[in-house]
Amino acid sequence: MAGPFALELGMFDPTFPGVTLHFPNEATWRKSQEVTDLTVRLLEEDARLKLPGASATGPTMALLLERFMGKVFANPGSPEEREAVGRQFIASDPENAVGNLAIASAFAHERRHFHDWLLSPYAAGINAMRSEIYANYSYLRFALRASGTTVIPVPLPRWLRKSPTEQQELVKMWQALLGDATPIRLPDLTRKDLLDNINTIARRYRSIGVLFEPVGFMGVDAAAIFEASALLIQIQNIHDLFGETASNLFGNAMANVPPPNRYGVFLKTMSGLAKPGEVLENNTLTAIATWCLLGNSTADNANAHPLLRFTHAVECVQARGLSSFDKPTAEIFDDLDRMSGVMPYRKLVKQSIKLGDEVVKMLNKAAMQDRSGSKFLLGIAQAQEYLHYWHTYMARRLLTDPDSYCQPAAYLDLSPGDLPEPPLRETFGRPFRFVERTALGGFSSVNLFEDASTPEQACLQQTIMQLPGGVVDLQIADNWQYLSQLADTLFAEYNRDKPEIEAEKVRALRSGLRYLEMLN
C-alpha cells in the first residue's frame, strides 16, 4: 500500500497566515481533484437523499461549502449513513484508501494548525522573533543592493562562514555557470554594522530553528506535537464525514507508521501508556496535546519546548494512568501543571499577551520614528499587531472555554465566526495549472508563471482565496508572506527546499538580482 502521506499536499507554513495546499506536479493536483470530486459526489448523493430542503438537482455549492468549511464540517447523517458513505469511499480505491482519506480531510488538519499557531504562546514567541528579524532586515536591505549588486549568495550566514579562498572558488564556479553576460557583483559585506546585523538575524533564526531540530530518543522535532493536535482533529473530521470504519483505518495507519515520523509519535506513545481496558479518548489526548503547545519561552523557558512538555505529560500519565485524565479540559491542564511543576497555563497565556502588547508597541514606535519615507517598518508593525490581535483572541477564548477548543467534536461544530477562518493558499511547483485570464477575478490574489502564460491563458503559481467566514486581512497576510519569503531566502539555514524560497528567487530575478544557493 502506498504510504498514507505519499501525497503530502497540506503543510502548515507559519510564513503565511492561512492554510496552504502545495501541488508539486500535475499528477498530484489531478489526484487531489479526483479525491475531492469523489468526496463531493458521495456527500452530494447523500445530501440529496437525506437533507430536507435539498433540491431535486442536488444541493447548492453554498450547501457543500457549508458542509466542508462552515458550521458543521461533517456529514449530518446518522452514524449508519456516515458509515455507508465511508465504506463507498474506501471501496472506490481500497489500496490507497488511507492516502485518499488524508487528502479528503487535509483542510481540517491544516485549519487546526492555523488555530494552534495563533493560540500557542510558543508560536507567538516565534512570530515576535520573526518581526524582529524583519525589522533588522529593514536596515540592511538597501546596503545589500547598493553599488549594482547582481548576485547575493544565500543563505548569507553560510556565505559569511566561508574563507576568502572558498568564496573565490565559488564565485569562479558560479561565473562559469552564468556566463560572461552576467557579471557577478556581490554586496559589500565588510561594514561591521552590517555584519553585526546579519549575525543578530542568524541568531534569531537559530532560535526559531529549534522547532525543527530532532530531540532526544524519539528522533522527532517539536512540530510532532503540532502534528498530533492536527491529526486528532483530522481523525474526528474523518469520523464525522465517513464514519467509524474510516476513522479507525486512518488513525491506526497513522499510529503505526514506523519511526521516526512526526505524525504518529504522540498517538503511539499515548497508546503505549494505556493500561488494558483503557480507551484512548480523543478529548483527553487533544487536551494533552494542546497543553504541550502552551509553553512560553519568555515566562518559563525551561519548560517551553513542546516536546519537553510532552515528556512531562508522559510522566504524569505514567504516574496516574490515562483514564484519570478523562475530565474537563481545565482540570486536565491544572493537573498537568501541578504534577509537572511548570508555570500554570493561565499565567503563561496572560504573560504571552502582555509580551505581545509590548512587542507591538515597540514596533509601532520604530515605524513612527522611521524617517526613511519607506513603509517597510510600518508594514511589519501592522502585520505583528494583527497576528497579536488574533493570538490574544484565541488565548482569551481558551481561558474562558477550553473544552470547545480541546474536544474535537465540539471544536468542529463551532459556529462560523467563533474561530478565525483561514484563507486558502494553493501553490503549484511547476507551470501546469492553466486557467482563462477572465477567471482570475475569482481569486483574492494570484501569482503567475509569467513565462508560461499567454494573453488568453494564465499559468498559476499561487492563488489565495478567502473562504466563507474568512477574517484574515489578505493585505496583512500578503505583507507577512512577503516579509517571510524575503528574509527566509536571505537568512534561513533550514527548509531551503520550500517552494516559497524558489518563488522569491524568481521574483528577484525579474528585477535583475540573482540569489545563488550555498549548498554546503
Q: Where along the sequence are the contacts to other proteins (CB under 8 A)?
A: 2-6, 8, 11, 24-25, 27-28, 31, 173-174, 176-179, 209, 212-213, 221, 257-258, 260-263, 429, 493-499, 501-502, 505, 514, 516-520
Burial (CB < 10 A; 0-12, 13-18, 19+), residue 165, is exposed
Of 61 and 176, nearer to other proteins (C-beta) is 176
Please, what is the minimum distance in Å from the beta carbon of residue 368 to other proteins? 37
Please, what is the minimum distance in Å from the beta carbon of residue 432 to other proteins? 12
State how far the Cα of 383 lies from the Cα of 389, in Å rounded to an integer.
Answer: 10
Please, what is the minimum distance in Å from the beta carbon of residue 104 to other proteins? 19
Please, what is the minimum distance in Å from the beta carbon of residue 178 to other proteins? 6
Burial (CB < 10 A; 0-12, 13-18, 19+), residue 404, is middle
Please, what is the minimum distance in Å from the beta carbon of residue 199 to other proteins? 19
Query: Which residue, among 211, 220, 9, 214, has the nearest Cα to 127 in the 3D structure?
Result: 211
Residue 214 CA, chain-centre distance (Å), reads 18
Task: Say how many CA atoms lie within 13 Å of 138 toward its Cβ.
Answer: 22
State how far the Cα of 131 lies from the Cα of 471, in Å rounded to an integer.
Answer: 21
Q: Residues for the chain: how many in total? A: 520
DSSP β-ladder status, 19-23 and 10-11: antiparallel
Here the cell at position 156 is: 548569507
Of 264 and 469, nearer to other proteins (C-beta) is 264
Of 150 and 323, nearer to other proteins (C-beta) is 150
Of 49 and 177, nearer to other proteins (C-beta) is 177
Q: Which sign, positive or negative, has the C-alpha torsion 227, 233, 239, 242?
A: negative
Percent composition of the chain: helix, strand, coil (DSSP 3-state, to 5): 65, 10, 30
Please, what is the minimum distance in Å from the beta carbon of residue 465 to other proteins? 23
Of 169 and 331, nearer to other proteins (C-beta) is 169
Of 228 and 381, nearer to other proteins (C-beta) is 228
Of 240 and 488, nearer to other proteins (C-beta) is 488
Q: Which sign, positive or negative, has the C-alpha torsion 116, 492, 215, 99?
A: positive
Of 211 and 419, nearer to other proteins (C-beta) is 211
Please, what is the minimum distance in Å from the beta carbon of residue 337 to other proteins? 30
State how far the Cα of 320 lies from the Cα of 454, in Å rounded to an integer.
Answer: 65
Please, what is the minimum distance in Å from the beta carbon of residue 397 to other proteins? 29
Is 202 within 8 Å of 491 (Cβ atoms)?
yes
State how far the Cα of 449 lies from the Cα of 167, in Å rounded to an integer.
Answer: 33
Of 91 and 176, nearer to other proteins (C-beta) is 176
Of 8 and 81, nearer to other proteins (C-beta) is 8
- Contacts for 45 with CB less than 8 Å, ≥ 6 apart: none
Query: Which residue, among 331, 366, 309, 316, has the nearest Cα to 134 in the 3D structure?
Result: 366
DSSP state of 5: T
Is 514 within 8 Å of 473 (Cβ atoms)?
no
Here the cell at position 486 is: 524575503
What residues pair up with 465 in beta bridges, in sequence order? 424
